[in-house]
Amino acid sequence: MLALLRLSGVFALVVAGFVHAQSYPVKPVRLVAGFPPGGGVDATARAYAQKLGENWGQTVIVENRAGANGMIGGESVARAPRDGYTLFLSTPSEVALNPLLYAKHSYEPLKDLAPVSRVVDFPNVMVVHPSVPARTLKELIALAKKTPGGLNYGTSGIGSTQHLAGEWLKRNAGVNWAHIAYKGAAPAVTDIVGGQIPVAIVGLGAMMGQIKAGRLRAIAVTSKNRTAALPDLPTLYDAGIQFDATQWYGILATAGTPPEIIGTIEAAIRRAANDAGVKARLLGLGGDPVSSTPEEYVALIRSETAKFAKIIKDANIRYE
């Protein structure tokens, strides 16, 4: 009889979990973005929020909680109830880079957050001002080597994947250049279009319009594979350089969220990533929509953390 009662209890828990997942969501869901409105993070969050809301029949509200390189938004989700109603749209900074760059971090990404799925890859792109006499990466490297003092290259900030790509190229591909850190992509774009700097490595979305208008010349994307947004643009791998640095975004829940709900969110993200409207919206920004399992997303975070940790250590990059 005791064994039967125990079996009944286990069965009841399984049924309760199944019903919980089947009913989720029964109220609006918040999708927190750790950066201000108007950028690629915000645009991605809104594209997915709209489609997830349509699929669920519930409102998905985008909440911008900017500050501390995304940590304020990440902390708010890490401390939220473990029920799946507060989600986080993260860049590499919030889950892989900030713990390496800051002496103090307000949460532990893989302890306090539950990765659900990667959602989009935004390749970084290396561009030059049209006055720069280089059309390939090989030509740019040669130009930098023979330029006294090297070339200056701009990025969206210290510790960004663009900066880390530049530091890796400096140490491993013989590129003679010096980093100019901007507070975001917009001022870097303004300066390279104006000719104040000769080279920049910035997210493709911020550069798409300038490249298509001919105001900047694209040299290469720093992703492992070519991007659908500019399929003719070579990668670093195409130039014989075995390195990639991509702005991958993903969605996470609060750690401890029931696995049944995580599974429901993952399935909804997969449907959204394959939606023609979401694809068109993100491709227009220079992104490649993707999806993954939670396990694949965790593996990506771990591998990217290990890769960038070496670059950060070698270049002695830290935030105070």
Residue 163 belongs to domain with CATH number:
3.40.190.10
Two tokens, residue 217 = 């010349």
**Residues contacting residue 292 through CB under 8 Å, at least 6 positions apart:** 117, 118, 250, 300
227 and 292 assigned to the same domain: no
pLDDT along the chain (320 residues), means of 10: 46 45 89 90 95 98 93 97 98 95 93 98 96 96 94 93 95 94 90 97 90 96 91 94 94 98 98 96 90 98 96 88
- Select from 239, 260, 281 the last residue of a domain: 239
Rounded Cα gap, residues 256 and 250, in angstroms: 18
Return the pLDDT at 5.
44
Return the pLDDT at 206.
86
Enclosing domain of residue 128: 123-239
31 and 107 assigned to the same domain: yes
298 and 191 assigned to the same domain: no
51 and 113 assigned to the same domain: yes
148 and 96 assigned to the same domain: no
CB 188 within 8 A of CB 160: no
The pTM of the full predicted model, rounded to 2 decimals, is: 0.86
Q: Is residue 110 part of a domain?
A: yes
Q: Is residue 12 part of a domain?
A: no
Which CATH number characterizes residue 50's domain? Answer: 3.40.190.150
Q: How many domains does the chain have?
A: 2
Q: Is residue 104 part of a domain?
A: yes
Rounded Cα gap, residues 11 and 174, in angstroms: 62
Return the pLDDT at 307.
94
Nearest to 119 by CA among 305, 271, 295: 271
Q: Is residue 8 part of a domain?
A: no
Q: Is residue 18 part of a domain?
A: no
DSSP codes of every residue in 174-189: ---EEEEE-SSHHHHH
Return the pLDDT at 21.
54
Dihedral (Cα; 199, 284, 96, 115), 10-degree rounding: -170
Nearest to 165 by CA among 319, 315, 294, 2: 315
| Burial bucket for residue 59 (CB in 10 Å: 0-12, 13-18, 19+) | middle
Length of the chain: 320
Return the pLDDT at 318.
85
Nearest to 294 by CA among 269, 266, 273: 266
Q: Is residue 309 part of a domain?
A: yes
Q: Is residue 22 part of a domain?
A: no
Share of the chain above pLDDT 70, in %: 93
